[in-house]
Structures are given as structure tokens and as C-alpha cells.
Structure 1
Amino acid sequence: MSTRGKITGTVLGAAVAASLTGAALLGPFGGASHGDAASASAGRGDLIIAESKDGIPSATATDWVSYGDQAAVVHVTAEHEGEADSEEIAAGEGYLSRTVDLQVKERVWSRSGATALPDTLTIVADGWSFKGDAKTRVGSAEASRLEVGHDYLVSFAHYADGEWATIGTGAILPYDSGEVGQGEYEGSTVTAAAYRAKMRAKLVTGAEEPLAYRASTSAASSVKTFLTSATPDATAAANYNLDAAARAKWVAKAAAAAAAAADTFCKVAAPLATDAGSTYTRGELSDVVSDLAGLTDNFGDKALLIAYAGQLNASADPAAWTSRGAATVRVQRACSIDVDLLPNDVEDAE
């Protein structure tokens, strides 16, 4: 089994143990890297549902084109049971890993320069919990389990160890009868209409809609349209030479750096707030505005702030400060504070 497969099996095994003890878990595919681990919960009698946290974003079209290498319709032809940990065998209970064989039925989308997807492949999937001779299926919450006999539309990534795998739980869409949402979901067979209703309930105002919702009740051609028109994350696209896991790490680092920069920007801007009581001469304000320009990566904001700083230095006449209004709006929008970017040593500046 590949390194990625071993990690997945180990992590999901911990999830199953957590479901029996109420402890915290790490989700499949290395989920601890993207937030706090969630707790596991028992599902139906024939299925244990483990709450999971993907290590790679996989819900949206942006995620698929940022981290996925290939998207395809596949049919699950067989499943294979792995070996349990020796300590679990001795204890008489634990987790059994599982792999599934997939037959590619339709190639939907391919990232330019990506490794070609083989006609058949075997990947790691959710397995079973066992106690004595009894086995219970394990599945990830709000995800398809990849059951034999069903079709799915999947976003795949080719990893550094040479193995193929999905990019996450959001990258496996039921696709029986050629319709997204029709088929197996959380271990049960659902209709496309019921699946769409489930996805609708997960929508977040202001956030990009999950591909599962956008494409539900549609054919694979709709997914292809969504993917070909999607724009990948800039950091991910700049690191297409790396595998999906490494790309996700770079994106997370870039996001953290951007958040830190935004925090610094707003800390510098805070004394400019109208209710802060600070006073600035024209020269002092020009220096602060210049500092703000150096702290933003937004080209438009930077240009406006540089222009206003220059206008402050060049003239004492407020009529010459033509960039002041737009620069003020940019700072207010970035930091959610009221500012007027007006030096305090100018009388009747309005």
C-alpha cells in the first residue's frame, strides 16, 4: 500500500476508534492540516459515519482545478480488504482498510500538463470496523463511500509517490444513470433530487457554491463546463509542478501570510480612524499612507495610496489631493474602520 494509503487507513482507523469512545479524530486524507479535528459519531446499524476534515480543499470548482489533475466518471468494479493492525487483531476489534478497483467510463476534464489517467486504477477508500467476526462499514460524513456497482464523477490527483487518489471527500459525486447526485451517498442510494436538497442545505452565503450543488441533477457535461470556466487559486497554479498535497500546503502558507499582512496593514491604519483622536501633519500622514502602500499586495490599492502620498507631499492645497476619496474607501473597506485620511494641520480642508 502506498504511503498515502497507509496514512489514510491509519487516520480513518483512529476515527472509528473515536466513534466508539467519543474522542476526537483526524479525518481521512490527513485532515488535521486544515483545522481542528471533529468528533466521530455512530450512524446506522450497518454503517459508522466518521466526521472528517479534508487535508486538501475539494468542494468547489475552484478547488477541483487548483488541486485536481483529472476528472472522470468511474465505475467501481471490486473492493479488497486490507490487513488490520496487529494490536487490533490481538484485541479482537479495530479497523480494516479497503481499496476499490475503478474502471474509467468517461474522461471529463484534464489539467493541462497533468499525468494521464489510466483506464483502470485502484485507490484507497473507507473500510470497515470489526469486532470479533463482525464487520461494519465505515463512511465519511457528507461523502460517498465508493460502493461496488455504482458510478461516480471524481476529481483525481496524481501524488508524488506515484499513486492516484481523490483530492477529498467533496471530490466524489454520485453518478448513477448519468446524473450527478443519483446513486450512493453516505452508504445509501439516494435520488438526484434528494441529493440536491442535501447540498442546498450546506450553502454558505457569500461563498462559492459547492460543485456537488451546482452540478446536481445534471450530466457530466455540466461539470466539464464548470471546470473549464473556473479560475484556479493563483498560488496553486504557480505550483502545478508539485502534487496536490504540496500545492495545498503552499496555498495555506500564502493565505496565512496574506492574513498576517492584512492584520499588519490594519494595525498601521488603526490610528487614522476618525474616532482614534490621533493628529497628523501633512508630511506625517504622507509617510503613513506610503507605509500602507507598501503593506498591500492589491495593485489597485497600492497605486491609489502611492498617488495620494505623493499628492500630500506635492501640495498643501486639498483640491490637489484627487486620490484622497478613493484611497479612503480602500482603507475603510480593508479594515472596516471610518477614516478620512485628512491631515490635521490643514484648516478648511473640506
Structure 2
Amino acid sequence: MTLTTHTKVTGAVLAAALAGSAALVSSTHDDRTVDDRTVDDRTGAGRAAAEQRGSGQGGTGRVSLPGTKEGIPSRTATDWVSYGDQVAVVRVLAEHERPDPETQDEAAGAGTYVPRTVDLRVTDRLWARPAAAALPGVVSVTVDGWQLHDGVRERVASQDAARLEVGHTYVISFARYEDGVWAQLGSGAALPYDHGRVGSGEFAGHDVTVDAYRSALERQRVPGEEAPVALRTAGKTADDVQKVLRSAEPDPRATRPARAMEPTDTFCSVASPLATSESGRHTPDELASVLTDLAAMASKPADASVLRSYATSLGAGTGAGKPDDTARAASVVAIERACGIDVGFLRPTDD
């Protein structure tokens, strides 16, 4: 049994790529541009384009991207129940720079795009497609990242989608692809949900109120088309989102995408199967393998040390190990502090 969970949720910028369609194409144009290239894939190929410069320093500024056309519709209840597998309330635990050989050198100059992943902790499950796979307790998301300008990072944010910022809560519709990867359905599939109300929290890189969120959605609404989930539930609770989805009917013409992009592991996505809520059974070898992976990914040397010590003490491959309870207890603290999940006593469970 392989414990490492390859889970990733793509953010607002990736829906077309995840559907196997052509790269995203800007649906509007902004005369205030970084350069004369177009954004065709905000995670890689055509990094900079039709972007409005942010004014802050040290990552506090914001680069605004135009609205986008996507390969998977993701705004209405019909879209969510036609293409999605799970809908859940999640909280953003941490963010990471996603390794990318093309952007390792921050001296590359203006226009260099730095991909970002965030770790999401599932706090409430609202809806599931019949026979859908269970959503992991922690999933990793690739979302809008940063733009480098003379060595200064500025946040990239879509004008019509949540950026997914650390500390904020969202209602998100997820799809699980045939290769086992979980992904956010699209830019319309993440609703701000701070303080238990849809529309309160982060949207387009800004903190918004319910009234401001509702007004923005009203301006975008197309007469004669089904109202977005966001507009139908603005100011309401997750229970109301659940009711909307339960009354929706899937589009019989919908074709589910077969494949998502290659997942990116983070510390919390690797740790996810260890959560007590996942009810997994781990042999000493399996547990040691996961702990060794976590040690290599830990951001704090002290955490890496205790994780590695506990993994070694399990006697992987020999069955003769004597678990180090001190390192075990410290490993529990390290994982739960970083990911906000309950891993119990973190002992092998094959006996």
C-alpha cells in the first residue's frame, strides 16, 4: 500500500488545462500591461500579459489579470453537479512556491511568473456525486502565484475569481480525474466563506464584504442564463449551498474530463493519509516511508530531525525496530501544527 497521496486542486487559472483544452485565453483586454505577451497559461507557458501592475512591495502589491474563458463551466449549480465530484468547505493552511526550473532564478527579470500551491484542510463536506471517491482531509492546490518585477514579488490575482489566501475559508467544488488527481472545477468553483457567510472573505486578491461581492456578481450576470451558485447563495450559509446543489440536475450532455495535470506534493498532502479521519492502516514500513518523505519536505530542521528519527526507529524492512516514543510525540506535534489535522498517536496500525 502506498501512502503518499498525490492530490492537487487547481485554482482559478487552470480549468482549461485540466480539461485537456487549449490554454486560457483572455476574454478582456487591459491597456495597462506588463509587456506585449499574452497570458495563455498562468502556471507555465505564457506567464505575463495583459496584467495591471500592483503597487506594493515584497509581495504585497497585486497584478490583476483579466477574466478568462475556460474549458469546463464552473459557475452554476448545473455545472457543479454535472462536472464535479465533491463540494466542501475548506480553510487555506499554508502556501508554497511550486518548483519550476523555468523560474528558479529570480534574476530572470520583469515578467517572470512564480507558480504557487496552497494546502487546504477540509472542514465540512457538503455534496458528493453518487459513487464519487472520498475527498482527502488535506489537498494541495495550484493557484495564482507571483509576478517578479526587479526582484520584487507581486501577487497575481484574477479579477473574477478567488485567489485562495492563507487563513481564509472557501466553499469549493472539486473534480476527481481518471488519473486520481483532485482539482478545483474552475474559477467559478471557489466561493469566499469567512465568518460562515458566502461572499465574506477574499475575492480577486482583496478582502470583500457580502454586499460588495453580491454587487460584483450582479454586474457580471448574463440575462437569461442560470444564475451562478455564488450569486444564489451570497450572504447565506454552506447549508444553503447544499440545498441548491441537491435540487440541481446534471446536464445529460456533459462530458467529464479524463485527465488532470501532474500533481505537486507538499508536506501536508503527503501527511494527509495519516489523519485519523482517513481511517488508514499503516505497516511500520509504510509509516516509516511517509515520515521519511515528510522529513525531506519539513520547513524546520527540528521537525525534519524528529520525523527522521521516528522513521528510523520503526526499523523499516527489518521488523526489529523499537519505536522512539519521544520522537513519535514530537512528530505528532510537527505534523498537526503544520497541517491542522489530527494524526492520533502516529503508530503503525497493522496489528
TM bin (shorter chain):
0.5 to 0.7
Q: How large is the RMSD of aligned CA atoms in angstroms?
A: 3.5
**CA displacement at 1:49 relative to structure 2:** 1.5
Match of 1:86 among 84, 91, 102: 102
**CA displacement at 1:105 relative to structure 2:** 0.7
The change in CA–CA distance for 1:49 and 1:227 in structure 2 (over 3 A counts) is same
Identify unmatched segments of 5+ residues in structure 2.
1-5, 18-22, 56-60, 261-351
Query: Aligned with 1:233: secondary structure?
Result: coil
The change in CA–CA distance for 1:127 and 1:69 in structure 2 (over 3 A counts) is same
**CA displacement at 1:199 relative to structure 2:** 0.8
State the match for 2:336 in structure 1.
none
Query: Matches of residues 172-321 of structure 1 in structure 2 within 5 Å?
Result: 172-236=190-254, 243=258
State the match for 1:305 in structure 2.
none
The change in CA–CA distance for 1:149 and 1:5 in structure 2 (over 3 A counts) is closer
2:9–2:139 contact (8 Å) kept in structure 1:
no
Identify unmatched segments of 5+ residues in structure 1.
33-38, 246-350
Query: Aligned with 1:136: secondary structure?
Result: strand
Match of 2:141 among 108, 123, 127: 123
TM-score scaled to structure 1, two decimals?
0.60
1:73–1:151 contact (8 Å) kept in structure 2:
yes
**CA displacement at 1:201 relative to structure 2:** 1.2
2:8–2:142 contact (8 Å) kept in structure 1:
no
CA-to-aligned-CA distance 1:271-305 (integer Å, 9 cap, x gap):
xxxxxxxxxxxxxxxxxxxxxxxxxxxxxxxxxxx
Q: Judging by fraction of residues, say which structure has more helix.
A: 1
**CA displacement at 1:147 relative to structure 2:** 0.1
Report the structure number with the largest CA radius of gyration: 1
State the match for 1:71 in structure 2.
87
Query: Aligned with 1:189: secondary structure?
Result: strand
**CA displacement at 1:161 relative to structure 2:** 2.9
The change in CA–CA distance for 1:223 and 1:3 in structure 2 (over 3 A counts) is closer
State the match for 1:153 in structure 2.
171
**CA displacement at 1:40 relative to structure 2:** 2.5
Report the Cα distance in structure 2 between the residues aligned to 1:29 and 1:172, rounded to whole angstroms: 18
**CA displacement at 1:150 relative to structure 2:** 0.2
**CA displacement at 1:131 relative to structure 2:** 2.9
User: What is the percent sequence identity of the aligned residues?
Assistant: 43
The change in CA–CA distance for 1:124 and 1:87 in structure 2 (over 3 A counts) is closer
State the match for 1:57 in structure 2.
73
CA-to-aligned-CA distance 1:182-230 (integer Å, 9 cap, x gap):
0000111001111011111112111101111001000011111111111
CA-to-aligned-CA distance 1:11-68 (integer Å, 9 cap, x gap):
68x99xx9412433326599x9xxxxxx723154211112222221001000000111
The change in CA–CA distance for 1:62 and 1:27 in structure 2 (over 3 A counts) is farther
- Size of the aligned set, in residue pairs, is 234
Q: Which amino acid aligns with 1:205?
A: P
Match of 2:126 among 90, 108, 125: 108
TM-score scaled to structure 2, two decimals?
0.59
